[in-house]
């Protein structure tokens, strides 16, 4: 995943873009960038790696020299961006969020047109530069963005910084959110609404799927109406989103409370406490605890002053070490107790398995695991969530392989909770994790907890559905 923030103001907006972008740091781990525009200095840009540090530390020195009443910033999980391009439309900076599945096909198209790529990303072309090149084929920025929506397979939300203002275009199926905020003399657009409040912005508009908006310091105008179909990623509420944020006017943490409550309704295990695996599991655990009237406790404390996010180091061995070191069990709350542990999802299961070993080493009597979403039986095709070098890295696929000895199994047979194959897969996962019991959320309950119709949510990871 990645996230971005843009602002245009009647006064200097450098600080707003800096802090607004920083509030998206939980969405990306590799690179970040900012770009500003003012008439006197033109476009100014900085990009830094986040693999050995944090956004604020990396960009504090840069922003001291920037000026501008418009700017964009992005936290990226892959490529370096924003990219600054010069075309017949004028000079512009571009940042994107999404995934392009036909990248090789589009690269070959431009090479056949004798076009040149100057940016690189993980040994290949930079997807954001590619999107900028497609836009530059149009007769206007609006037409160029529409060409992107027509040509790419996957998902792509776009933010353009131009001399005419900021263009905000949400993915044509709305898989990722874009929201406009406003305060006196300024407008912003962001992925996360939690970036608004401390900067003085209030939510003004949720941009629709495929909708294109141009923002200026005086307001904004709709350049393309939203499309009817929407399939916003359900993981935004389960895992990715920050608790105070809203998507489609639905708050993240309130949704997590409902997810936890739904899990509790089907549970009759005798337990002494409920808790969440930090951080995203906490909201789910509170909902569970409230529903069952069971104490919510903190048998694990997360030590954050010096340990980075567990998925930041590129070496798997180091990631596992960081994941282990940052969570400290409290034996006083664990020993001889029966606990239920809420988590957002199980992808590979490595970190959860290590946590369980620590729990039993600290003397827990029973460890019951409850997961706020259904099992991840299909790799994400749209936003890189649950992506691995091999499907067997996924805990579900590993369990099915252990049961069948096959790698070419139709995982739809293991996604139906009424199917005996589903129960066998979950039981094998329980054994692999070494937990007392393991239960997952039903898709129907997740949909109800979010509060949108099933057809407006992307649940591909759970059931293989969704528009490709």
Domain boundaries, the chain: 3-230, 253-463
- The residue behind tokens 């084929």 is 137
CATH of 253-463, one of 3.40.50.2020, 3.40.50.300, 3.30.1540.20, 3.20.20.140: 3.40.50.2020
| pTM given for the model | 0.93
CA 161, 165, 168, 169 torsion-angle sign: negative
| Mean pLDDT, range 348-369, rounded to an integer | 91
Q: Kindly state the percentage of the chain with pLDDT values over 70.
A: 94
Tokens standing for 348? Answer: 């590979």
Residues for the chain: how many in total?
468
Choose between 151 and 122: higher pLDDT.
151
Tell me, yes or no, if the two domains 3-230 and 253-463 fold the same way.
no
75 versus 353: which is more confidently predicted? Answer: 75
pLDDT at residue 164 is higher than 90: yes
- Residue 290 makes CB contacts below 8 A (sequence gap 6+) with 257, 260, 261, 296
User: What is the average pLDDT across 49-55?
Assistant: 88
Q: What is the residue-averaged pLDDT of the chain?
A: 93
Tens digit of each residue's pLDDT (9 = 90 or more) over 391-442: 888 999 999 999 999 999 999 999 999 989 999 999 999 999 999 999 999 9
- Specify the CATH number of the domain 3-230: 3.60.20.10
- 252-265 and 443-450 helices cross at what angle (nearest 10)? 140
Question: Could you please report the per-residue DSSP string of 411-432?
Answer: GGGGT-TTSHHHHHHHHHHHHH
pLDDT winner (highest mean) among 217-226, 326-335, 411-420: 217-226
Span 437-457, average pLDDT: 98
Residue 252, strand partner residues: none
Given a cut of 70, whether residue 95 has pLDDT beyond it is: yes
> What confidence tens digit (pLDDT) does each residue in 267-277 have?
999 999 999 99
Q: Alpha helix (H) ranges present in 113-206?
A: 127-135, 141-151
What pLDDT does residue 385 have? 64
Q: Is the pLDDT of residue 122 over 90?
A: no
């Amino acid at each position: 995943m990645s996230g971005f923030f843009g602002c245009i103001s009647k006064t200097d907006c450098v600080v707003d873009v800096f802090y607004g972008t920083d509030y998206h740091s939980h969405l990306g781990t590799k690179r970040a960038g900012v770009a500003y525009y003012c008439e006197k200095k033109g476009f100014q840009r900085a990009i830094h790696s986040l693999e050995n540090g944090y956004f604020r530390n990396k960009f504090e020195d840069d922003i001291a020299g920037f000026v501008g009443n418009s700017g964009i910033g992005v936290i990226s999980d892959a490529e370096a961006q924003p990219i600054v391009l010069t075309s017949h439309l004028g000079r512009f900076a571009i940042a994107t969020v999404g995934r392009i599945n036909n990248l090789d096909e589009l690269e070959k198209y431009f090479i056949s047109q004798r076009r040149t790529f100057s940016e690189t990303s993980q040994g290949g072309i930079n997807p954001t530069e590619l999107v900028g090149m497609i836009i530059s084929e149009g007769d206007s920025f609006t037409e160029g963005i529409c060409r992107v929506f027509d040509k790419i397979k996957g998902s792509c939300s776009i933010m353009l910084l131009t001399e005419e203002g900021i263009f905000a275009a949400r993915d044509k199926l709305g898989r990722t959110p874009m929201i406009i905020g406003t305060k006196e003399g300024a407008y912003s657009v962001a992925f996360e609404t939690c970036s608004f409040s401390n900067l003085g912005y209030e939510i003004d508009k949720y941009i629709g799927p495929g909708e294109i908006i141009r923002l200026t310091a005086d307001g904004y105008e709709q350049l393309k109406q939203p499309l009817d179909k929407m399939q916003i990623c359900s993981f935004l509420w389960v895992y990715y989103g920050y608790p105070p944020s809203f998507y489609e006017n639905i708050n993240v943490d309130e949704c997590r409370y409902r997810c936890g409550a739904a899990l509790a309704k089907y549970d009759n295990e005798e337990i002494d406490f409920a808790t969440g695996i930090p951080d995203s599991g906490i909201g789910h655990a509170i909902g569970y605890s409230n529903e069952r009237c069971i104490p919510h406790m903190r048998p694990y404390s997360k030590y954050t002053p010096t340990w980075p996010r567990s998925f930041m180091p590129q070496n798997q061995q180091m990631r596992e070490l960081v994941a282990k070191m940052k969570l400290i069990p409290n034996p006083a709350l664990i020993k001889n107790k029966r606990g239920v542990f809420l988590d957002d999802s199980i992808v590979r299961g490595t970190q959860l398995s290590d946590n369980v070993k620590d729990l039993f080493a600290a003397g827990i009597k029973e460890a019951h695991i409850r997961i706020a979403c259904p099992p991840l039986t299909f790799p994400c095709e749209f936003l890189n969530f649950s992506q691995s070098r091999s499907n067997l890295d996924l805990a579900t696929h590993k369990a099915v392989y252990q049961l069948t000895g096959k790698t070419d199994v139709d995982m739809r047979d293991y996604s139906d909770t009424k199917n005996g194959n589903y129960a066998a897969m979950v039981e094998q996962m329980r054994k692999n994790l070494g937990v007392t019991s393991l239960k997952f959320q039903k898709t129907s309950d997740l949909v109800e907890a979010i509060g949108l119709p099933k057809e407006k949510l992307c649940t591909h990871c759970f059931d293989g559905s969704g528009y490709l």
